[in-house]
Amino acid sequence: MDINNPVAGNCQAKYRLLNRIKPTTMDIATIDHIPSSSRLAASIDTIAICDNLNEIKELMLPAKVDLMLLILCERGSLTLYYDSSCQKMTQHNMMVLRPGHILHRYVTSPDFKGHFISLSSSLLGDMLPPLAKTLPCFTHFRDNPVIALTDDEVASQTELRDILRRKTYSQGHQYQGEVVRTLLEALFYETLGLYLAHWSSVDNTKEMKRRDALLYNFICIVEENFRTERSVSFYADKLCISPKHLSATIKEASGRTASEWIDSYVILEAKTLLRNTGLTIQEVSTKLNFTNQSFFGKYFKHLTGQSPRAFRSSPQTMSSLNTK
């Protein structure tokens, strides 16, 4: 935060006071609490698109938001207070907040126009590319989440938003879920491309913080070994640190534990194999180095809420499979 910025300076003063107060926060992991009668009620309960967060009637601040939140300011200004920080957005600014932040409040100018898109971390996890190539960008923008867009970039974001809103909230056909997920992928990669372009234009030659460097190295090792190794101690040994230190540092750097990172890679690979191949469940289990199909089934259901067989038989999965 720029301490020479008057807005940032005021934020710092306010949060010196807020940090002494430990507010009771509500956890928001999904938006399925929105009534089905609401115009925000989506066919997929892990995504919401709105012009004002007040449209989410049961949102009571402060709140710990376990959602990815994308905000675009098309006109006017918006000041967002979260954790111990505040960010002021002006015309054509975009901001992406990762899951785990505590949102205290936000203030909009009278002429504010923009939109908020939220999606669950579980839905996001199904779209993540290999992170080793993009992690340095993510670690930079964790502390600097606001970027300025051109007119054309704003137009692309609003076009994607309008299509996504129309497809998400309309009465659709049996493949509507697949259509929405494809549109989300387009939005995700479009936004990631904008952040990577902005990251390449700033001074990124400085060394990453030690915790970020550890996160980067950890992710690289996970991407190479997750199909055969799921033990935190394996990765800690590779990094020459204790499992406890690894877990604590990864949690601090990313908001997720080391085990959660490993599990996310395993589950994403399992879903891919179940969705896009003709491998039997036993063969998928063997390919991911589980001792037996029963253990794999319990692991998969614990993390997804579905058995492998139920996941493979779901309409969204069947649309992209030729065989079971």
Angle, vertex CA 56, rays to CA 54 and CA 60, nearest 5? 75
Whether 251 and 287 map to the same domain: the answer is yes
Task: Encode the chain (324 residues) as per-residue pLDDT tens digits.
Answer: 333 344 444 554 443 333 333 333 333 333 333 334 433 333 344 677 888 766 655 567 777 776 778 899 999 999 998 877 889 999 999 998 877 677 888 899 999 999 888 877 666 555 555 555 556 566 666 667 899 999 999 999 999 999 988 887 777 677 777 788 788 888 888 888 888 787 766 555 444 567 777 887 888 898 889 999 999 999 999 999 999 999 999 888 777 889 988 998 899 889 888 987 889 999 999 999 999 999 999 999 999 899 999 988 875 543 333 333
In a domain? residue 186: yes
How many Cα atoms within 13 Å fall on the side-chain side of residue 238?
16
Using an 8 Å Cβ cutoff, are 77 and 108 in contact?
yes
Q: Which residues of 263-273 are buried (b: 16+ CB within 10 A; e: fewer)?
A: bbbbbeebbeb
Query: pLDDT tens for residues 173-224?
Result: 777 777 887 888 888 888 888 887 877 665 554 445 677 778 878 888 988 8
Q: Is the pTM of this model over 0.75?
A: no
Whether 182 and 238 map to the same domain: the answer is no
Q: How far is CA 302 from CA 13, 116, 271, 299, in A?
A: 44, 31, 14, 5
Whether 101 and 161 map to the same domain: the answer is yes
Whether 160 and 300 map to the same domain: the answer is no
Can you tell me the distance from the alpha carbon of 187 to that of 73, in angstroms, rounded to the nearest whole number?
A: 16
Letter for the amino acid at 152? D
Whether 29 and 177 map to the same domain: the answer is yes
Which CATH number do you get for residue 240? Answer: 1.10.10.60
Whether 98 and 247 map to the same domain: the answer is no
Whether 17 and 124 map to the same domain: the answer is yes
Selection from 197, 191, 117, 199 nearest residue 154 by Cα: 191
Last residue of a domain, one of 168, 200, 232: 200
In a domain? residue 323: no
Whether 223 and 114 map to the same domain: the answer is no
Using an 8 Å Cβ cutoff, are 122 and 69 in contact?
no
**Order of strands, sheet of 101-108, starting from the edge strand that comes earlier in the sequence:** 26-28, 63-65, 101-108, 78-82, 85-89
Whether 222 and 162 map to the same domain: the answer is no
Whether 262 and 216 map to the same domain: the answer is yes
Mean pLDDT, the chain, integer:
75
- Number of domains into which the chain is organized: 2
Residue with tokens 């669950």: 120
Whether 182 and 45 map to the same domain: the answer is yes
Last residue of a domain, one of 175, 200, 225: 200
In a domain? residue 308: yes
Which CATH number do you get for residue 55? Answer: 2.60.120.10
Last residue of a domain, one of 178, 200, 222: 200
Positive or negative torsion for Cα 231, 237, 239, 241: positive
Question: Which structural domain, as residue segments, surrounds residue 135?
Answer: 6-200
